[in-house]
Structure 1
Amino acid sequence: MKLFEERTYRTQFNSERFLGFEVKHLETDLWIGVDPASFDEKMRSVAQSKIECLRTTFDKYIEKEPFFKKSLKPFQPSEAAPKEAVEMAEAAEKAGIGPMSAVAGLFAREVGQEILQNFSVEELVIENGGDIYLCLKDELVLSVFAGESILSERIGLVIPAKKEAFGICTSAGTVGPSISYGVADAVVVVCDDILLADAFATALGNKVKSPDHVEKVIRQAEKYPEIQSLLIICEDKVGIKGENEMRILK
């Protein structure tokens, strides 16, 4: 799988392994893949209803607490906040940034859980702008697109089979529409909790101001035991830490 702005990477998933479809609502654009034997046409409507319901919930909440959306620093929601907003704020606080840093991961997770609760699925991938919620029966290798870097698509992240769902999230300062205050071509974070992966990817990406910062940021990430693996690419520099194997693809 490739991670880059045009989203043509969605065609890179093995069509024999994953039967995929897209669900969209306003800014949300999800790609959902399941093993073909588990596919049910009703998954489309279930996923669509979930993202529309979530968006309505957040729109109503943000009308009351607009700083939840605007804050670039940790934010404490009011007692009236929906539980999803509280979870986003808690994940973002651990990473030291604003709660909206976890919104893509939240939507991917919520749709993933909705499908897992309503259907019998062997394998599941929910991709939301480079943030991925997964349940895997077999190993999967993800190739990382890193903009103009010479390392782009040359490094593969090996994801082992794992029955429990987990998250892989990517942030970039040179690729994609999301806000980043760094210049990394790709910062990939693996966590059991996709909201944490999303928030940490953004937070660590903000810290990469030049290729010389890669090693420093890798060391800083050591204090976060929640991060299972971290991959940073900035121009011709790469930094790697964690449990997942990295594989040279070209």
Structure 2
Amino acid sequence: MKTRQPSPSDYRERTYRDQIDVPDLVSFEVVCQETNLMIQAQRPLDAEALSATLSCRGEIEAYIRQFPAFATTLVPWPKTDFAPPIVRRMVDAARLAGVGPMAAVAGAISEYVGRTLLCLSDQVVVENGGDLFVKTNGPLVAALFAGISPFSMKMGIRVEDTKNGLGICTSSGTVGHSLSCGRADAVCVVSESGALSDAAATAIGNQIHSPADIDAVIRYGRQIDGVLGIIVVMETHVGAWGAVELVPLQGKKG
């Protein structure tokens, strides 16, 4: 079977989702406005997942209607005790990472939906634009999508222990629609918070402009409270730290 070289269009086509596979789980997709989730659970939970997505999006959108600047600021938002829980998680994560709160939105939604579904399924994987929330009974390998880097879709991110639930989020300065001020092909962060992983990946990615920056940005990322692991890819260079392992992806049988 031929191996096709990855291209930036893979992000739009979402073909990288084929590389997220947990045995014995069923896959289904939930789409709600800009939110496009690929979910794996022990049984189809489409209605429950859509309800959770509508709920958390509704809370975020209501807060933005009240405070429009929340949607556009690139700096941390003031701490608030009166916002909905998902907004508070975004605010707290963004403050730890030093970025605007919307840098945490995809990871926060993934975790919100995932933890809601854990009431109905012991194992859950929720992917939202490359940002994952995972809780499985064993090790997990997720594809590393890094644009046209030679590592893209050929290497996976292996995490041994997801029993408490993990956020595995990726930021890129070369592919995707999310804002990044850097030039990394991929910055992946692992933590026990989807919002924190998302915000930290953005913060780290903003600071990499050449392969020579990789060591420095990993040192920076290690100082963000709650970060458990980091992978940075730029062109033919890669750096990793913490509770993550890069492994070759096994080819699919066809």
**TM-score of the superposed pair, with normalisation by structure 2:** 0.88
Query: Does the CA-based 8 Å contact 2:37-2:126 persist in structure 1?
Result: yes
Which aligned runs of 4 or more in structure 1 are off by greater than 3 angstroms? Answer: 13-17, 77-80
- Which residue of 1 is the match for residue 93 of structure 2? 91
Once residues 110 and 15 of structure 1 are traced to their aligned partners in structure 2, the CA distance between those partners, rounded to angstroms, is 20
- Which residue of 2 is the match for residue 218 of structure 1? 218
- Which residue of 1 is the match for residue 51 of structure 2? 49
Does 1:155 find its partner at 2:161? no
Deviates further, 108-117 or 3-12? 3-12
Local SS of the residue matching 2:116: helix
Fraction of identical pairs, as percent: 38
- Which residue of 1 is the match for residue 3 of structure 2? none
Amino acid at match of 1:142: A
Deviations 1:83-126 (A, max 9, x none): 22122111100000000111111111111121112x1x232100
- Which residue of 2 is the match for residue 107 of structure 1? 109
Query: Does the CA-based 8 Å contact 1:169-1:197 persist in structure 2?
Result: yes
2:16 to 9, 15, 18: 9
Does 1:22 find its partner at 2:29? yes
- Which residue of 2 is the match for residue 82 of structure 1? 84
Are residues 216 and 174 of structure 1, via their aligned partners in 2, closer, same or farther at CA, if it must alter by over 3 Å?
same
Deviations 1:130-169 (A, max 9, x none): 1100111122222312111122233322121432111100
Give the length in aligned residue pairs.
242
- Calculate the aligned-residue CA RMSD, in Å: 2.0
Are residues 80 and 221 of structure 1, via their aligned partners in 2, closer, same or farther at CA, if it must alter by over 3 Å?
closer
- Which residue of 1 is the match for residue 172 of structure 2? 172
Q: Which runs of 5+ in 2 are unaligned?
A: 1-5
Local SS of the residue matching 2:49: helix
Once residues 166 and 149 of structure 2 are traced to their aligned partners in structure 1, the CA distance between those partners, rounded to angstroms, is 28
Deviations 1:179-222 (A, max 9, x none): 11111000000001111101000110111112221121112223
Are residues 114 and 210 of structure 1, via their aligned partners in 2, closer, same or farther at CA, if it must alter by over 3 Å?
same
Once residues 30 and 249 of structure 2 are traced to their aligned partners in structure 1, the CA distance between those partners, rounded to angstroms, is 31
Query: Does the CA-based 8 Å contact 1:175-1:185 persist in structure 2?
Result: yes
Deviations 1:59-80 (A, max 9, x none): 2221110111111000115554
Once residues 140 and 27 of structure 1 are traced to their aligned partners in structure 2, the CA distance between those partners, rounded to angstroms, is 27
Question: How far does residue 14 in structure 1 lie from its aligned partner after superposition?
Answer: 3.4
Local SS of the residue matching 1:164: coil
Deviates further, 13-22 or 208-217? 13-22
Query: Does the CA-based 8 Å contact 2:79-2:92 persist in structure 1?
Result: no
Once residues 80 and 26 of structure 2 are traced to their aligned partners in structure 1, the CA distance between those partners, rounded to angstroms, is 41
Are residues 234 and 160 of structure 1, via their aligned partners in 2, closer, same or farther at CA, if it must alter by over 3 Å?
same
Deviates further, 147-156 or 19-28? 147-156
Query: Does the CA-based 8 Å contact 1:75-1:99 persist in structure 2?
Result: yes
Matches within 5 A, 1:230-249: 230-249=230-249
